[in-house]
A and B are shown apart, each in its own frame.
Chain A
Amino acid sequence: MEILFQQIVSGLATGGIYGSVALALVMIYQATDVVNYAQGEMAMFSTYLAWSMMNAGVPYWAAFFGTLVVSFVGGLLIERIVIRPVEGKPVLTIVIVCIGLLVIFNSVAGWIYSYIQKPFPSPFPPRPIMLGTVVFGAHDVGAIVVTLIVLAFLYAFFRYTTLGLAMRAAAQNPASSRLCGIRVGWMLAIGWGLAAMVGAVAGMMVAPIVFLDPNMMAGILIYAFASATLGGFTSPGGAVIGGLIVGVIENIVGTYVSFIGTELKLTVALAVILVVLVFKPSGLFGRPAVHRV
């Protein structure tokens, strides 16, 4: 029973990270109907930026917020410069452009920072937290708290600010929003900026666990996809809950199903994606897609 609790707790911790990457994916999908395949690599790149700042002697939290600002601007510029020309083009075109971004980020990161793994500091004390006999890693708890803060922040932003309302309007009905005087193009760009920021948070939370290297997000991206699919691509809250569920499933299956162990963990994510897409394509909390013929 203790082992089970332990697995659930560490599952929730990694799940929080999957959830935040999934959240970034869902935000872009909702605002622009684009699934950003480069999301993971963008987060990885942001994390390297944070690493550079810390290496130059900037204290952790200054580097953290500095990275968020740079990531926001970076995401904004990518939408304006790279994604804008293919807006409204067929899905294949957009997928290919995102894949192009993915390989560019991956390759440039490897070029600048090399493919050698780097340790990345955690802002939380290394001392574990005991609750009865169950051990919580301080970083795990910290990562969950950070994810929840990000979610609360985004919820408040979209729910209570004029800008958030304008962004939701632009995503839901671009034509009418334009008539109301909303700059729809800029709303999409801000959406990309915010998603890049959320991705950066996820990257900085996961890097102390998996170490920093240009390929660190590949595995996490597939879990994030699984989380977003499970929660529903149209539901930001669902993405985070999906992430937590996937994290727990991954840990429990890895521990208790002997033929899966750690070697087939990615295959678990694949199975989750396929099962959800076949039996409930809109996910647990999503709206089913409706097409006009």
Chain B
Amino acid sequence: MSARVRLGLLLVLLAIAVALPLFVSNFRLFQFTQVATYAIALLGLNMLTGYNGQISLGHGAFYALGAYTAAIMIDKWNVPYALTLPVAGLLCLVAGFLFGIPALRLEGLYLALATFALALAVPQILKYFEDWTGGSQGIVLSKPKPPWGLAITPDQWLYFFTLAVMLVLFFLARNLLAGRTGRAIVAIRDNPTAAQAMGINTPLYKSLTFGVSAGYTGVAGALSALTIAFVAPDTFNVFLSITFLVGIVIGGLASISGAILGGFFIQFVPNWAQDISKAAPWAIYGVFLILTMYVMPFGIAGTARLLMARRLRRAGTARAG
């Protein structure tokens, strides 16, 4: 795909996204806000797992940290909601960086294991600090009102707000990953020894990637707290972390657009799965997960790219012949 076609496509999609509130109900719009929120979290996880090759089964923990940071700041100190996002992001960045340091010594399976343990422990930890987190009752917030007297509903405002945050974060991530830093991150995934021999500071890059990844997921968590206007420990269970992994795998590992596709998948497919079988939506989820690994290991985005490349190649040979 040439750069101009790609830009055109991007603008069309953006126009659709901006016009969306005119056509859909508030509930649908709430779901799309969720998609955008998930997309941010998935992009964060994808940086770590897809690009840098560090498997995390515990990103739900950073999502929870972000959500609770926002909720506590608004509930206890009346901080304006927009300010909670950078704080949540920074806090998770630091937490992720610190968790990334012991994680340096862990490869593949062991890292997956340590993060899995983190994901399992989160609800308990949240319930423990009851004075801050409200225990298993959680914290109830009120939905932010649209500013400047705009004549739109709070759901519409939240949608635009989330979309704007998502666009900014995606732009930053694209720049980070397309440049020198991004190449270093990918080189570490593909061959850590060679990367180090080329002069890349592997430990620093790995723990920084962990930090940035956690930061993205933390911002997403804060946004989710604003959108749902409620946080409770049991929503941040281990299945949330698994859901994120499902999202990046099905959307496409090491792909920026894959994060958005994954966001759509984890928002809407559970509902469809529930229609197929009321009792076992997660079973269908699991089957999806395994089948994706068999037939399209690079997810939707990767498969699309592959098909496109194949068509271009065929067109090329036809012209040459």
Residues on A lying within 8 angstroms of B by beta carbon are 35, 37, 82, 85-86, 89, 91-93, 95-97, 99-104, 106-108, 110-111, 218-219, 221-222, 225-226, 229, 263-267, 269-270, 273-274, 277-278, 281, 293
Given contacts A107-B286, A111-B277, 18 further A-B contacts (CB under 8 A): A37-B112, A89-B297, A92-B49, A92-B108, A97-B289, A99-B57, A99-B286, A100-B289, A103-B289, A104-B283, A104-B286, A106-B282, A107-B279, A218-B238, A222-B121, A270-B117, A270-B121, A274-B117
The secondary structure that dominates the B interface is: helix
Residue contact A278 to B280, C-beta cutoff 8 Å? no
Partner of A264, one of B114, B124, B238: B124
User: In the complex, which residues of chain B have a beta carbon less than 8 angstroms from the beta carbon of A99?
Assistant: 57, 242, 245, 286, 289
* Complex Cα gap A218–B241 (Å): 14
Q: Which of B77-123 contact A (CB under 8 A)?
A: 102, 105-106, 108-110, 112-114, 116-118, 120-121
A107 and B117 in contact (CB under 8 A), knowing A264-B128, A281-B110?
no
Residue contact A82 to B290, C-beta cutoff 8 Å? yes
Interface centre among B105, B281, B290 (most CB of A within 10 A): B290
Residue contact B117 to A222, C-beta cutoff 8 Å? yes
* Complex Cα gap A219–B121 (Å): 9
Residue contact B113 to A107, C-beta cutoff 8 Å? no
**20 pairs of residues in contact across A and B, judged by CB atoms under 8 Å:** A35-B109, A92-B253, A93-B297, A96-B289, A102-B242, A107-B280, A107-B281, A110-B280, A263-B124, A263-B127, A263-B128, A264-B124, A266-B124, A269-B117, A270-B121, A273-B113, A273-B117, A274-B117, A277-B114, A281-B105
Residue contact B283 to A107, C-beta cutoff 8 Å? yes
Residue contact A281 to B106, C-beta cutoff 8 Å? yes
Minimum Cβ distance to chain B for residue A66 (Å): 25
Minimum Cβ distance to chain B for residue A170 (Å): 20
User: In the complex, which residues of chain A have a beta carbon less than 8 angstroms from the beta carbon of B245?
Assistant: 96, 99
* Complex Cα gap A104–B281 (Å): 9
User: In the complex, which residues of chain B have a beta carbon less than 8 angstroms from the beta carbon of A107?
Assistant: 279-283, 285-286
B125 at the interface (CB under 8 A from A): yes
B294 at the interface (CB under 8 A from A): yes
Residue contact A222 to B289, C-beta cutoff 8 Å? no
Residue contact B118 to A278, C-beta cutoff 8 Å? no
User: In the complex, which residues of chain A have a beta carbon less than 8 angstroms from the beta carbon of B201?
Assistant: none
| Closest A residue to B102 using CB positions | A278
Interface centre among B106, B193, B283 (most CB of A within 10 A): B283
User: In the complex, which residues of chain B have a beta carbon less than 8 angstroms from the beta carbon of A278?
Assistant: 102, 105
User: In the complex, which residues of chain A have a beta carbon less than 8 angstroms from the beta carbon of B205?
Assistant: none
Minimum Cβ distance to chain B for residue A98 (Å): 9
User: In the complex, which residues of chain A have a beta carbon less than 8 angstroms from the beta carbon of B193?
Assistant: 293
Minimum Cβ distance to chain B for residue A45 (Å): 12
B157 at the interface (CB under 8 A from A): no
Minimum Cβ distance to chain B for residue A129 (Å): 33
Residue contact A108 to B128, C-beta cutoff 8 Å? no
Partner of A277, one of B105, B127, B279: B105
Interface range on chain B (Cβ under 8 Å from partner):
35 or more
| B277-303 to A contact mask, C-beta < 8 Å, 1/0 | 101111101110110011001000000
Residue contact B125 to A264, C-beta cutoff 8 Å? yes
* Complex Cα gap A269–B120 (Å): 10
A-B complex: 3 closest residue pairs judged by Cβ atoms: A107-B282, A104-B286, A100-B289
| B226-246 to A contact mask, C-beta < 8 Å, 1/0 | 000000000000110010010
B249 at the interface (CB under 8 A from A): yes
Residue contact B124 to A110, C-beta cutoff 8 Å? no
| Closest A residue to B124 using CB positions | A266
Minimum Cβ distance to chain B for residue A157 (Å): 25
Residue contact B105 to A104, C-beta cutoff 8 Å? no
Residue contact A86 to B124, C-beta cutoff 8 Å? no
Residue contact A86 to B285, C-beta cutoff 8 Å? no
Minimum Cβ distance to chain A for residue B158 (Å): 30
A226 and B283 in contact (CB under 8 A), knowing A99-B57, A263-B128, A278-B105?
no
* Complex Cα gap A91–B53 (Å): 10
| Closest A residue to B53 using CB positions | A92
Residue contact B109 to A111, C-beta cutoff 8 Å? no
A85 and B285 in contact (CB under 8 A), knowing A99-B245, A226-B117?
no
Interface centre among B55, B286, B287, B294 (most CB of A within 10 A): B286
Minimum Cβ distance to chain B for residue A212 (Å): 18
User: In the complex, which residues of chain A have a beta carbon less than 8 angstroms from the beta carbon of B253?
Assistant: 92
* Complex Cα gap A104–B193 (Å): 37
User: In the complex, which residues of chain A have a beta carbon less than 8 angstroms from the beta carbon of B286?
Assistant: 99-104, 107
